Structure 1
């Protein structure tokens, strides 16, 4: 019987680890085909491809991000071929099984929980024509039309699992996609909004096998390897061993990502990473979720924010590891004002990325069971996102979503760090207030429904600040110009502002710099650039204050100054220089 395991991934760059474990475990008795698509692919295209493979059995890996698209594919396939045997598995269908089987008569079997041994036993039973009663860990509607849920088997010994990474068909894609790897299953914590809280204890894979897999992946071109362990650093000795291995064995261009629990990270581990890890090799994802102690207590989340702050700060000071911090809006008893405090607490750490998510009432979690207790109203279908609760209205959810929209564009993408830093420190009472007011303005203008290029983002922030009538407008506009020019790889052909220097003024600046390079700096003089070179490769702009002084000390001195950014594509590093207006006037007077 030909078997295909399929998954609809969120993006093309993602890969599905689960179906690879199932394929590896079923071998050599069963040769399973893998079929991966994305949730953006037209369903007819997916159905056509699967049909052309001529399977007898298809298994789908189901999650909150793909379940609705998967259901539509399943229904179409069953209409085309009523004899096709369809199996669903994954965290989304493991819970509320009666509801799923009632809703989806097209599905023959749901595999519950850990699926490697279950799926292989199911294939063996189908191959022999045995009753489904003999297969542990599955649910189905029997011949009498009654729900049958077979007891689940004991947990697997992860050390015995075969590698899911040794398939030749995966090799051409390793450099282009994210490779997911797990070194453990389970989580030591009991956060009631997370499915990982359901499995008690942590089980580990064989360390040497994991290391061999990582070597194999790097040898075959893998560039981004993401560890999906819920708490990678729960064991200090294990984390240290793996960090050391990855530092010793890594290849240039490879990045390893981990989910880290920040408040249990020991300072000596961070010291080790700050000294030994090459820059950019590691990336940490840290779930903060909330800094409200009462909220954390209600969801059984043990977190010491003081220690977490220490960890994030030490890692940031090391300058080698980017950090992605997560927040969840809508947790119990976290109202709008409390979430504002949470946001400001975490933004104060200045993570490279701050992700603002919204609570999802996942099937099987304690918080979904307690939904009525906290007055939750949430979506009926995946992703089950909350719409309101006793302390947070839908109107307030909308406001926080406005924050999320501009946070992603203006902080996480790091298009104008200098500008945003000044705004949140000197113009607005708190960072949250800036993102909230800008987000509300953004929504009112209808910009959330249209696309935008880089220049559009600068224009729209400028329009917002003019509308706000802030006192420091000329300063902020100067910083925006600087951010725009310094974040370009090549000299921009056009600028988004209309009040730039005139052509004659630019000619004066460039002529003076070429004629008197020492007037600028010794470093500039060493470059020996002609006027022609500067006209071709330099962008020149006048600022109402000394940008050089501000970059050095954060002090605003209202001494007008020219900033000169020299671009040369990939041939040399972009260089920036400054020339005060006073020096320019002196040079021009001397030349006369």
Structure 2
């Protein structure tokens, strides 16, 4: 019997952990091939590829991001392979089984919840006596009526075989994200999250997990993401794993964790700040809302004061990047309340601030209470809200405008100094900057067209100019600083208007050749650049503020200055050197 476990990932770099557990658990008895695609692959490409494999059984792992595309694949497979057994599993189909059985008549079975043991037993029956009634934890149609068998007991996670030892996965370990779990379940009861449905937290065997991590690193894995809902629920366990990873890690490997910020102990952070190599760990922290009433209504226990302490301590340590999440559209959080939530969290200075919108997931308490809060939402996945009793679709559109420019200008780190300055010096609050700019961006139609890096700078400059934004000149100077600092090579044509005449630049270069001490840096003097190297690898640019004070202290002093930008040919990194003010005044009129 030819069996395939398949799924449609959101991106190529993602891998599906669930189908690998199904394969490893059933492997002693059933040989299962893995077939992963993406939601962006044409439906017929997927159908054709699966058809050529000539399977007898296909199991699809289903989530909100892939269910609609998966259904299209299933509908076509059924037409060309009428005898094929099609099985669905995963969180999207586990909590409304009757709906899915009736909506997708092309499928044969749905595996409900945790699937390793259920899938294996179902395959036993399909290849044997077909006593489907004996398989716990499945749904199917019987005599044209939905039939759901008894729920299966939870599996002992300590006994699960490793899902990481397949030869076919080795070539791609360095190119894709590897997902790993050390526990299942969540101790919290957030009513918008599927994890709240499962009671309690169960752990895998620690020694097996450590062996798997060693194996993954030995075979080239670069990004390993822990999918535990609350990795640090146990302080002792988290410390043990952190210590293990610090000692055993290989250069270039990054580990990502979902952390609950307000229960992170200060001594754990102090340990990480002292012992962890920079860039080894990355934290994802769900804040969602800072509105106390909202958190109470969704049964989310959270101390923003303690969470802020954690984020601040980690940031001060300078070792770990942090990704903080917000959810717009939670109960009793109107537009103005969400604005406050955004500003509260932005003030913490996370490396990434993810702005998402509430999704009414099947099986969650909030979906059950939807009428109580006046929710309207999409009928099909991802079930994103369209409004509720305190926030309408117009407000949602406005917040989406914020999300658009936040992603491009903050999370992508294209101009950190510029955005930081604008958010705190030219607008009442950071949210107001992103909202005003986001609305302008949308009105120009830019959200419907592509963009190059230079376009982002030009569009922000246009926004500042046309709206007469306060401190525009300083902001544009910082944009130039960001652009040059992050550019990997000397730009042929800059997006800004040149403030220095060619003759002035020539005078400065001539002076540098004979008197390099014009640059107030011993590091520049040691470079000993000749005339050809100066012209080839450097730029001289004017700034509307004292560039030395800004580089040294982050202080904006409104005094025009010049900077020499050196684009290092050996590694493509740029360095900005400051001129000796007394010397440069002899060459230019500033």
C-alpha contact 2:43 2:72 (8 A) present in aligned 1: yes
Aligned pairs for 1:101-500 within 5 A: 101-142=101-142, 144-500=143-499
User: Given the superposition, is the C-alpha separation of residues 33 and 588 from structure 1 closer, same or farther in structure 2, using an over 3 Å criterion?
Assistant: closer
Deviation at 1:510, TM superposition (A): 1.5
The answer for the alignment partner of 2:67 in structure 1 is: 67
How far the C-alpha of 1:544 sits from its partner, in A, is 2.2
Is the Cα contact below 8 Å between 2:486 and 2:573 reproduced in 1? no
Give the Cα–Cα distance (whole angstroms) in 2 for the partners of residues 330 and 575 of structure 1.
44
CA distance in 2 between counterparts of 1:463 and 1:580 reads 33
**Which segment drifts farther, 481-490 or 202-211?**
481-490
Q: In the alignment, what sits opposite 2:576? A: 576
How far did residue 556 of structure 1 move?
A: 3.0
What SS is found at the alignment partner of 2:373? Answer: coil
Q: Deviations over 1:297-322 (max 9, x none)?
A: 00000000000000000000000000
CA contact (8 A) 2:89 2:110 kept: yes
The Cα RMSD (Å) is 1.2
CA gap of 1:414–1:140, structure 2 versus 1, over 3 A, is same
- CA-CA distance at 1:566 after TM superposition: 0.3
Deviates more, 1:464-473 or 1:380-389: 464-473
Residue 32 of structure 1 and its aligned partner are, at CA, apart by 0.3
Higher mean C-alpha deviation, range 538-547 or range 49-58: 538-547
- Where 2:370 maps in the other structure, the secondary structure is coil
1:422-474 deviation digits (Å, cap 9, x = unpaired): 11111110000000000000000000000001000000000000011123121
Cα distance in 2 between the residues matched to 1:146 and 1:554: 69
Residue 92 (str. 1) matches residue 86 (str. 2): no
In the TM superposition, what whole-angstrom CA distance separates every residue of 1:242-291 from its partner, at most 9, and x where no partner exists? 00000000000000000000000000000000000000000000000000
Helix, strand or coil: the match of 2:529? coil
Counterparts of 2:31 and 2:557, CA distance in 1 = 71
CA contact (8 A) 2:261 2:310 kept: yes
State whether residues 504 and 587 of structure 2, in contact with CA within 8 Å, keep that contact through their aligned partners in structure 1: no
Q: Contact 2:518/2:580 (CA < 8 Å) preserved in 1?
A: no
Residue-by-residue CA offset, 1:50-80 (whole Å, 9 max, x unaligned)? 0000000000000000000000000000001
The separation in 1 between residues aligned to 2:445 and 2:580, in whole angstroms, is 41
Please give the alpha-carbon distance, in whole angstroms, between the structure 2 residues aligned to 1:387 and 1:573: 45
**What corresponds to 1:586 in structure 2?**
586
Mapped partners of 1:587, 1:526: distance in 2: 23
What SS does the corresponding residue of 1:372 show, helix, strand or coil? helix
Q: Output the CA distance in 2 between the equivalents of 1:139 and 1:279.
A: 48
In structure 1, distance between residues paired with 2:459 and 2:246: 43
In structure 2, distance between residues paired with 1:318 and 1:127: 57
> Over residues 327-384 of structure 1, what are the superposed CA-to-partner deviations in whole Å (9 max), with x where a residue is unaligned?
0000000000000000000000010000000000000000000000000000000000
Shift of 1:581: 6.2
Contact 1:485 1:565 in 2 (8 A): yes
Q: Which runs of 4+ in 1 moved over 4 A?
A: none
Which shows bigger deviation, 7-16 or 525-534?
A: 525-534
User: How far does the alpha carbon of each residue in 1:69-97 deviate from its partner, in whole angstroms, 9 at most, with x for none?
Assistant: 00000000000111111000000000111
d(CA) in 1 for partners of 2:441 and 2:559?
34
Q: Does structure 1 residue 36 correspond to structure 2 residue 36?
A: yes
CA distance in 2, matches of 1:318, 1:211: 26
**TM-score (ref. length: structure 1):** 0.98
> Residue 12 of structure 1 aligns with which residue?
12
Matches within 5 A, 1:559-574: 559-571=559-571, 574=574
- Point out the more displaced range, 87-96 or 123-132: 123-132
What per-residue deviation string (whole Å, max 9, x for no partner) do you get for residues 528-580 of structure 1? 11222110000211112212112333433332211111012334753211126
TM-score normalized by the length of structure 2: 0.98
- 1:27 maps to 27
Tell me by how many angstroms 1:520 deviates.
Answer: 1.4
Which residue of structure 2 aligns with residue 558 of structure 1?
558
Q: 2:536 corresponds to which residue?
A: 536
Aligned-partner SS, 1:419? helix
Hey, what's the Cα distance between the residues in 1 that align with 2:214 and 2:240? 15
**Aligned 8 A contact 1:560 1:581 in 2:** no
Kept in 2, the 8 Å contact 1:561–1:580? The answer is: no
The 8 Å contact of residues 512 and 588 in structure 1, kept in 2 or not, is answered as no
TM superposition shift of 1:518: 1.4
CA distance in 2 between partners of 1:159 and 1:128 (Å): 29
For 1:56, the equivalent position in structure 2 comes to 56
Equivalent in the alignment of 1:79 = 79
The alpha-carbon distance between structure 1 residues 77 and 572, as it changes in their structure 2 partners (threshold 3 A), is closer
Give the Cα–Cα distance (whole angstroms) in 2 for the partners of residues 172 and 411 of structure 1.
Answer: 34
Q: Aligned residue pairs: how many?
A: 588
Alpha-carbon contact 1:560-1:580 (below 8 Å) kept: no
**Mind listing any 5+ residue stretches in structure 1 that lack a counterpart?**
none
How far apart, in 2, do the equivalents of 1:258 and 1:335 lie? 30
Whole-Å Cα distance in 2 between the matches of residues 401 and 410 of structure 1? 14
**Matches of 2:500 and 2:360 in 1, distance apart?**
55
Q: How many angstroms does 1:168 deviate by?
A: 0.2
Instruction: Report the CA distance between 1:42 and its aligned residue.
Output: 0.5
Shift of 1:28: 1.1
Change (3 A) 1:177 1:518: same
Q: State whether residues 559 and 580 of structure 1, in contact with CA within 8 Å, keep that contact through their aligned partners in structure 2.
A: no
Q: Secondary structure at the match of 1:373?
A: helix
Contiguous gaps of at least 5 residues in structure 2? none
